[in-house]
Amino acid sequence: MFIYRHTLKLHETDAAGLLFFSHQFTILHDAYEALLEKIGYSFARMLKKTDFFLPIVHAESDYKHPLFVGDRLMIEVRIGQIGTTSFSFLYSVRNEQKKIVGSGKTVHVTINKKTGKKIPLPASLQRALKQWV
């Protein structure tokens, strides 16, 4: 499991100081980017040096407890499934007391940058992802 830490910022909240719903996706995406960077597939590298990209084709998120400005969060990221052309990430959002306060899932498909068509996951990316199952 990969762990990403985040402190909830003012701009991520609504007028009541609570996490604004869409920002949970932003935080999950930040965790996703951090994990990709850790395994050698940063967005900068993919944009400049590979012929593929990994768009999100499905995203879901649940809110289990209110979150406020300054709350320190721990986002746990696991691989859900690895298929031929796609994979999924599962996210658990925990507060400082380690209580699950949110969760999410994203499904990513591998596409050829030029054609936009699905392609098989590169073997090296598959191997890198499998260490987080």
Active site residues: 14
Q: Are 90 and 78 in contact (CB under 8 A)?
A: yes
Contacts of 25 (CB under 8 A, 6+ apart): 59, 61, 104
CA distance readout (Å), 41 to 36, 54, 62:
5, 10, 27
